[in-house]
A and B are shown apart, each in its own frame.
Chain A
Amino acid sequence: MFEYEFMREAFIASTFIAITAGLVGVFVVSRNMSFLSHTLSEIGFAGAAFGILVGISPLAGMIIFTLVSSIAVGSLSSESSRREASISAISSLFIGLGILFLSLSSESSSYATNILFGSIVGISSKEVNQLMILALFVIFVFIIFYKPLSFDSFDHIGARAAGLKTRLLSIAFLVTLALSVSIGAQIVGSLLVFVLLTLPGATAKYLVHSVPKLIMVSVGLSLAGVWLGLYLAFVTNWPVTFFISGFEVIAYFLGLSYKNWKLNH
């Protein structure tokens, strides 16, 4: 399998994607932002389509769109019901825009399929380098903000009471989330990037009880999912996204069952 360059590139890219998504996912789940990460991936689709239309790379288009919208969401109403409604309105608009941009551009529909559903053959070594730099940036931001971000994410009210600048933390987090969506979409596609950004983090919380362990389990599950997915996709020629989402969903329900079993014993 590794004699093919595209598989080597895909493995390197996926490893960085999985580490980033697993790390960020723990905080997405604890901040109740699963829905927002789903929306950002749809916004990312529109961004990629926009990138193709105007002749910049799809990744650059994605980053621009997700960054701008994540910061906009950060300044949205803090009332959660209104926020949910606004987010779903924005999400519909961006799906529509993505379709419009694609139809205006000259790219074939297979390109759209790649953006939406992901692909392991589409990654060049230049893109792998870009992904690595972005992933390292996200990890770096997390190391810098690790303590206050953990406090704010796992106990927002306590963090505010302790005088932390929670608004600043929220924006820093949303920026890294936007970048993670853009990075992750390169392999699993924008439709399913939220799988990597939510399920490993959600599974981890049924298994372990400290922030470092949550991160380790989440990153581990994320890595296992993408590596297994890539291998099976190579062997069967089925879509990689199917295997990744299948693995993460099974892991999630096993985790949930374990938690329920433990509660009754």
Chain B
Amino acid sequence: MIEAKNLTKRFGKQLVFENLNFTINDGEFISLIGPNGSGKTTLVKIIMGLEKETSGELLIDKKQTIGYVPQFRNIDLDYPLDMEQFIRLNLKFTMSPAKRRENNLLITDILKRTHLTELKNRPLGLASGGEKQKAYLAQALLNNPKILILDESTASLDVEVKMQLMDLVQELNQKEHLTVIFITHDYELTKKYTHRALFFRDKTIEDVEVKNVSEDMFEMGG
């Protein structure tokens, strides 16, 4: 569970947000919505322990691993690694044969869970946008996270591919009880996949049940 109590962050004199109060329960699928510069990334950094709050507190089990899927990656056409090797980058170095076998099993499992087994030898530079996002997701899943943060992962994908990726995330959320925090500007995806939406508005957060989320809330700054 993640719980924010009067969470406030300032950079020098500049207020990013103040008095955030919200709870994210284990296994929930939450969307985090707000205009650029509203503090979404800062909040995510605090959740990940990369940034400290100015006041208030964020309660989170520090031992929980968090998988983060960043929005941008520098992968061009000539990028040399194939899908599997790209995912393997997140493995720890080991000389022990037993540990290596364990890692190989883990990779096989991750490839299967993210539906990438058939594509594992494809150079990442030549993969489609959706396939790349699946590889990023697979890499983040490698450390067996309990919380998965997707940072606008669907932003540059066409509708069908977006749905495929989100179906996969939903599957992970439902089957494996993974908590998902999905940063997005997408109304349709929020409605279809998430349980609740946290809207950044006027330096604070509004917690809205997904059935009450309307399209104009996104136009107001989503």
Contacts and interface: CB of A to CB of B under 8 A. Distances in A.
A209 B123 contact: yes
Interface string A126-169: 00000000000000000000110011001111111111000000
Contacts of B85: 209-211
Interface in B62-111: 68-70, 72-74, 78, 80-82, 85-86, 89-93
Interface in A187-204: 204
A160 B73 CA distance: 11
A161 B137 CA distance: 12
For the complex, would chain B's binding face be called helix, strand, loop or mixed by DSSP majority? loop
A208 interface: yes
Given A210-B82, A210-B85, A158 B73 contact: yes
Interface residues of B, number: 26
Contact of A154 (B48, B89, B136): B89
Contacts of A263: 126
Contacts, number: 59
B92 A147 contact: yes
B220 interface: no
A104 B86 CA distance: 52
User: Which of A157, A161, A211, A214 has the largest number of chain B CB atoms within 10 A?
Assistant: A161
B86 A208 contact: no
Contacts of A206: 78, 80
Given A150-B89, A158-B136, 12 more contacts: A147-B93, A154-B80, A157-B70, A158-B139, A158-B140, A162-B90, A162-B143, A205-B80, A206-B80, A209-B82, A209-B121, A263-B126
Interface of B: 48, 50, 68-70, 72-74, 78, 80-82, 85-86, 89-93, 121, 123, 126, 136, 139-140, 143
